[in-house]
Structure 1
Amino acid sequence: MKTEIKLVDYLASRRSIPAFQMGLPGPSKAEVEEMLKLASRVPDHGKLTPWRFIVYRGEERARISAELKKMALAARPDLPEDLIKVEETRLTRAPVVVAVVSKAAPHFKIPEWEQVMSAGAVCLNLLMAANALGYSSNWLTEWFAFDERAYPLLGVEPGERVAGFIHIGTATVPPTERPRPELADIVTWVGDET
C-alpha cells in the first residue's frame, strides 16, 4: 500500500533521481496514460494545447539511442570511450522516457512565450505525476533536444521543439538533497509589509 503525502510536504522534499540511477519496474501503459492526463492539467491560455507527448518504451529506446550515438560520433569522431557509452544509453537509462514537445507558434492573441511556458508546466506536472504514482523521474534535455537533425529520429515534427525528456522508473538509490537558494537572494518585495 502506497503512503499518502500532503502536497506541501511533497513540494518541500521533491527531488529528481538521475536517470542512470533508475531501473525496473517502470510504469505500465495504463500508468503512463494516467501520468499524461495529470501532466496535461496545466495553465493553457486560449486552450491551444501547444504541446504533445512522444512515449519511448521497450526496444525502440535502444534503437534510437544507437542512432543518436552514430550522430554524435559523426559530429565528434574523437569522442572519448566514456562519452560513447553515454550516447549508447541516451533513452535506455530509465524504463520509460516521455518527450514533451512544444508546438508553440505565433498566434493573434496568445503570446508564444506563454505557450512555451505551458510546455514547461507540463514537464513539471509529469515529474510530479510520476512521483505521485510511486515512480522516480528526471527532466533532461541533452544535445539532441536542440539538434533538429535528430528530430525525425525522435518523432519531432518541423516547427516543433523539445521542452524536455522525462525519464521515469524506479530509483535504485535514495534521493539526496542539494543546496537550495536562500530566499533573500532570489526574492524582491514590492509594497508594504502585511
Structure 2
Amino acid sequence: MDALQLLLNRHSNPRLNEPAPAGEQLETIFKAGLRAPDHAGLTPWEFIVFEGEQRQLLGDILANATAAKGNDAEAIEGARKAPLRAPMVITVVAKVTEHDKVPRLEQELSAGCALLSMQMAAQALGFNGIWRTGWFAFDRGVHSELGLKEQDQIVGFLYLGTPQKDLRKVTEHEIAPFVRYFGQ
C-alpha cells in the first residue's frame, strides 16, 4: 500500500482474529515504532507484548484494578476478557526521563507517535488493530503490576491481529474547520 494512501485511509479495527504479526513482520512493526520523533535521543519507549496465554495475565491485572475501584462482578469480568479481543496486545509505555530540554509531555507524545507508527506498519503489512487507552493507562496498580517506575506512563494498549472483515471507508473531514492561518 502506498504510504500516502495508508495515511489518508488510516482506521482502527476492533474485530481481530488470529494470526497476529510474528517474526519479521512483528520486528518491522517494532522498527517502525522506534522511528518515532525522539528529541535528544532519549528513546522514551517500552513495548510490553502480551500474546497467547499472556493475554490472560494482562486480563487478570485489569480485573484486579477494576475490583480495587469497587466495580461489580460484570465489570471485573469484562476487564478480564478485554485483552482476549485480539491475538496480541502491546502496551506502549513512555519511559520518561528528567531532561532540561525535553519535557515530560514531549516524551509521552513521542511514545504516542511510536504507537501510531506501529499501528500503521501493522496495517501496511495486512494486519490491523485498535489503540485503546481508558483509565487503566493511568492506574498506579496496573503500572505496578507491569513493573513500571513512578515516572513511566502507559500511552495506550495496541490490540493487533488480522481483521475479521474490512470496515467501511473512513469518513473524510472538511479541512477548513481545523485549520487557521495566523494573521488572516
- TM-score, normalisation: structure 2: 0.89
Note if contact 1:15-1:176 (Cα within 8 Å) is conserved in structure 2: no
Q: Which residue of 2 aligns with 1:49?
A: 43
More divergent stretch after superposition (83-92 vs 33-42): 83-92
User: How far apart in 1 are the matches of 2:105 and 2:35?
Assistant: 18
Note if contact 2:6-2:124 (Cα within 8 Å) is conserved in structure 1: no
Q: Which residue of 2 aligns with 1:59?
A: 53
User: How far apart in 1 are the matches of 2:182 and 2:64?
Assistant: 52
The structure 2 residue matched to 1:175, chosen from 167, 176, 180, is 167
Q: Give the partner amino acid of 2:16.
A: M
Report the CA distance shift for 1:68/1:110 in structure 2 as closer, same or farther (over 3 A): closer
Q: Which residue of 2 aligns with 1:9?
A: 5
Q: Which residue of 1 aligns with 2:29?
A: 35
Q: Which residue of 2 aligns with 1:106?
A: 98
User: How far apart in 1 are the matches of 2:53 and 2:151?
Assistant: 28
Which of structures 1 and 2 has the bigger CA Rg?
A: 1
Note if contact 1:64-1:153 (Cα within 8 Å) is conserved in structure 2: no
Q: Give the partner amino acid of 1:86.
A: G
How far has the Cα of 1:13 moved from its partner? Answer: 1.4
Report the CA distance shift for 1:174/1:75 in structure 2 as closer, same or farther (over 3 A): same
How far has the Cα of 1:15 moved from its partner? Answer: 1.0
Aligned: 1:189 with 2:181: yes
What's the % identity of the aligned pairs?
36
SS in 1 for 2:39: coil
Report the CA distance shift for 1:158/1:29 in structure 2 as closer, same or farther (over 3 A): farther
User: How far apart in 1 are the matches of 2:25 and 2:63?
Assistant: 30
Aligned: 1:120 with 2:116: no
How far has the Cα of 1:178 moved from its partner? Answer: 4.7
How far has the Cα of 1:191 moved from its partner? Answer: 5.9
Note if contact 1:54-1:155 (Cα within 8 Å) is conserved in structure 2: no
The structure 1 residue matched to 2:72, chosen from 37, 61, 78, is 78
Report the CA distance shift for 1:44/1:179 in structure 2 as closer, same or farther (over 3 A): same
Q: Which residue of 2 aligns with 1:166?
A: 158
How far has the Cα of 1:126 moved from its partner? Answer: 0.6
Q: Which residue of 2 aligns with 1:149?
A: 141
Deviation by residue 1:149-183 (Cα, 9 ceiling, x = unmatched): 11122332332000111111011121124544321
Note if contact 2:64-2:76 (Cα within 8 Å) is conserved in structure 1: no
RMSD over aligned CA atoms reads 2.0
Structure 2 unmatched runs, 5+:
none
Deviation by residue 1:87-126 (Cα, 9 ceiling, x = unmatched): 1222221111111110123312223322222111101101
User: How far apart in 2 are the matches of 1:191 and 1:37?
Assistant: 40
Could you list the runs of 4 or more consecutive aligned residues of structure 1 that deviate by over 6 angstroms after TM superposition?
none
